[in-house]
Amino acid sequence: MDTRLDLVFSALADPTRRDILTMLLEDDMAVTDVAEPFDMSLAAISKHLAILALAGLISQEKRGRVKWCRLEPGALKDASIWMEGFGQFEAVNLDAFERFLDSELRDQDQAGD
């Protein structure tokens, strides 16, 4: 369990990876669509996606010729349960967390306008 938590927290430490998770709240996305808003190569995005997948935060599957990414919130739940053990944190309400990330995404969209 410690190794898995290390992977989750390490993956979440990077702002690009957090942005990718926020994007995947909307729906499954093709890797090329994930890469589109970022000013980096497809290879760099693929490395970020590999880290997220290794941490269990996303899954990837081939559909025809296209590789798709899907958010896997279970890894966040494990991290939330771990933090709850300190007594200072409540378990993450995934619905509230999703609403928070949605609002962050909207704020980013409005800032870009």
| Residue 15, CA distances (Å) to 12, 20, 38, 61, 95 in order | 7, 9, 12, 24, 21
Domains in the chain, please, with CATH? 2-112 (1.10.10.10)
User: What pLDDT score does 88 carry?
Assistant: 59
Quick: pLDDT tens for 75-98: 888 888 887 777 655 556 777 777
1-47 residue pLDDT tens: 578 889 999 999 999 999 999 999 989 999 999 999 999 999 999 99
Instruction: Using the structure block, give the residue that is written with the tokens 């409540």.
Output: 90
Strands 29-30, 66-71: pairing kind = antiparallel
The pTM assigned to this predicted structure is: 0.73
- Residue 66 DSSP SS3: strand
